[in-house]
């Protein structure tokens, strides 16, 4: 097992990883920018190293600084958390080249899934269902026109290097295709340095359902069920659930078998999330994330598994030690992502938190690095707390979430708690009747 783990992240996820390390008896090193010197993830770590000024590119994305911090503290493994360097294959390469362990997949698998065209072709070959689309990248307008005629309109032009909603353009009919193609290519080139694009049939009211998997270095792969992340706005998730109110246990088992078999064949190692669109009873693979995700706690609550612990054990070469038949699902979990933003206008609201009181009681978990007197900087992600509730049934989980949101007090900055309170009271949310467009319609009322 590792002697010391450096956590290359900040905020709630750095704290989340520290907590597991402490339970495993592994000392931790926190890294931080100058503005985060008094942050909770620094205060609670065994050691800390300042790695640069506030802009992430000079600190949390600064690979030489992070490797120096690992070297001077004698860390033998690096956990990247989510965001920042977590899906940077070059970082994973450099970490290994320095004789350290990257707590994540191989650089090759990060690279493979980072290219959506390769990811889709790979998954298709392994029997995972896809949305109808072009056969790989479209070379030019003529090729796009031919593919779109076969797929049927509307089509979506997507960037191979995109993901998470960046670099997409819809073409409702042939007349718009040339413009959509040109715009998507230009945006992709500017944003990602690659203008490879592909086409997909546009689904008009999908749900976003993702499957959590764990794969060890010995070919054992299990799935931990799905999360429904349809409740989002501008590709920022607001609330996630495990399981999906739209799926049956049989659908979960079927999808799980297909996906775990595929990843076992691939030789994937680490936790991973396989994302699908789900519409009219059909799943379509869109992307795979090779990191721990923000919304991992809902899966932990229904499966009774510590995903960070599993990541660390897998990276150390341990066997999972259990099979799919040993994975039990219990109850329903919901996560509210609370951000430092105005609950109606979504204007960012950084600043000093004067008072902080987190909810508690049965089935309530709060993952947050907030404390009374802390400062929420404006330079990073606005996520300040994740409120996770767990209960035997979905209606009980919703009642518990409502109760916990009422207890939650964050004074000094604006937060999205009031938005969450409005969402949980909405009958169509309570009925589980949502798509990826639900929230945008709800907030524009
Ligand atoms: C789609 C789609 C409809 N049809 N693909 C957006 C993020 C990226 N991961 C994939 N996305 C979508 N791909 C086809 N063929 C609709 C979306 C989409 C979406 C997907 C997941 C979660 C939220 C979303 C919000 C708007 C659009």
Cα–Cα separations (whole angstroms), residue 295 to 212, 219, 291, 379, 419:
10, 25, 11, 22, 18
Residues whose CB is less than 8 angstroms from the CB of residue 112 and which lie 6 or more positions away in sequence, other chains included: 118, 119, 122
What is the Å distance from ligand 1's center to 286 Cα? 8
Pocket test for ligand 1, best of 204, 208, 284, 435 (most atoms within 8 A of CB): 208
pLDDT reported for residue 163:
75
Residues with CB under 6 A from ligand 1: 131, 156, 163-165, 200-203, 206, 208, 232, 235, 277, 286-287, 436
Nearest CA to ligand 1 atom 11: 165
Burial class (CB in 10 A: 0-12, 13-18, 19+), 357: exposed
- For 216-248, the pLDDT digits (tens) are 999 999 999 999 999 999 999 999 999 999 999
Cα–Cα separations (whole angstroms), residue 292 to 79, 307, 308:
10, 8, 8
pLDDT reported for residue 276:
98
| pLDDT at residue 122 is higher than 70 | yes
Cα–Cα separations (whole angstroms), residue 287 to 111, 117, 272:
13, 9, 11
What is the Å distance from ligand 1's center to 317 Cα? 35
pLDDT band, very low/low/confident/very high, at 166 (cuts 50, 70, 90): confident
- For 202-220, the pLDDT digits (tens) are 999 999 999 999 999 999 9
- For 268-293, the pLDDT digits (tens) are 999 999 999 999 999 999 999 999 99
What is the Å distance from ligand 1's center to 259 Cα? 20
Pocket test for ligand 1, best of 165, 198, 273, 275 (most atoms within 8 A of CB): 165
pLDDT (average), residues 110-137: 96
pLDDT (average), residues 251-257: 97
- For 355-370, the pLDDT digits (tens) are 999 999 999 999 999 9
Backbone angles phi, psi at 208, to 5 degrees: -100, 110
> 10 Å Cβ neighbour count for 36?
26
| pLDDT at residue 164 is higher than 80 | no
Q: Rounded distance, CA 212 to CA 294, Å?
A: 12
**How does the average pLDDT of the chain come out, rounded?**
97
Ligand 1 atom at minimum distance from 287 CA: 9
pLDDT reported for residue 445:
64
What is the Å distance from ligand 1's center to 354 Cα? 38
Q: Which of 111, 233, 291, 313 is catalytic?
A: 291
Catalytic residue list contains 291: yes
> 10 Å Cβ neighbour count for 256?
22
């Amino acid at each position: 097992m590792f002697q010391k783990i450096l956590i290359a992240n900040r905020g709630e996820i750095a704290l989340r990883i520290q907590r597991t390390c402490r339970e495993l008896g592994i000392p931790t090193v926190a890294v931080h920018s100058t503005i985060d010197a008094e942050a909770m993830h620094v205060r609670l770590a065994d050691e800390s190293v300042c790695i640069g000024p506030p802009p992430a590119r000079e600190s949390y994305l600064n690979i030489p600084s992070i490797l120096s911090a690992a070297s001077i503290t004698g860390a033998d493994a690096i956990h990247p958390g989510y965001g920042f360097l977590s899906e940077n294959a070059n970082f994973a390469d450099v970490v290994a080249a320095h004789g350290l362990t990257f707590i994540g997949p191989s650089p090759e698998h990060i690279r493979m899934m980072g290219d959506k065209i390769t990811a889709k072709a790979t998954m298709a070959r392994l029997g995972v269902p896809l949305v109808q689309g072009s056969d790989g990248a479209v070379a030019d307008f003529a090729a796009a026109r031919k593919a779109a005629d076969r797929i049927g309109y509307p089509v979506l032009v997507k960037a191979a290097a995109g993901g998470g909603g960046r670099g997409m353009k819809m073409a409702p009919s042939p007349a718009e295709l040339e413009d959509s193609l040109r715009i998507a290519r230009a945006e992709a080139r500017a944003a990602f340095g690659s203008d490879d694009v592909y086409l997909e049939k546009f689904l008009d009211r999908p749900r976003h359902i993702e499957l959590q998997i764990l794969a060890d270095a010995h070919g054992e792969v299990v799935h931990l069920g799905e999360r429904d992340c349809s409740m989002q706005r501008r590709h920022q998730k607001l609330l996630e659930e495990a399981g999906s109110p739209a799926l049956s246990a049989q659908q979960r088992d079927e999808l799980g078998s297909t996906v775990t078999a595929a990843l076992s064949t691939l030789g994937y190692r680490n936790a991973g999330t396989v994302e699908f669109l789900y519409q009219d009873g059909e799943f379509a693979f869109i992307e795979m994330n090779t990191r721990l995700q923000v919304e991992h706690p809902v899966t932990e609550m229904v499966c009774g598994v510590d995903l960070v612990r599993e990541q660390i054990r897998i990276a150390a070469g341990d066997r999972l030690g259990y099979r799919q038949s040993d994975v039990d699902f219990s109850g329903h979990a919901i996560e509210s992502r609370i951000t430092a933003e105005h609950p109606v206008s979504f204007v960012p609201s950084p600043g000093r938190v004067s008072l902080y009181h987190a909810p508690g009681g049965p089935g309530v978990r709060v993952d947050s690095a907030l404390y009374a007197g802390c400062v929420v900087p404006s330079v990073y992600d606005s996520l300040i707390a994740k409120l996770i509730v767990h209960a035997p049934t979905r209606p009980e989980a919703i009642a518990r979430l409502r109760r916990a949101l009422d207890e939650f007090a964050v004074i000094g900055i604006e937060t999205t708690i009031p938005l969450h309170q409005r969402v949980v009271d909405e009958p169509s949310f309570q009925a589980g009747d949502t798509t990826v467009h639900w929230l945008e319609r709800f907030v524009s009322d």
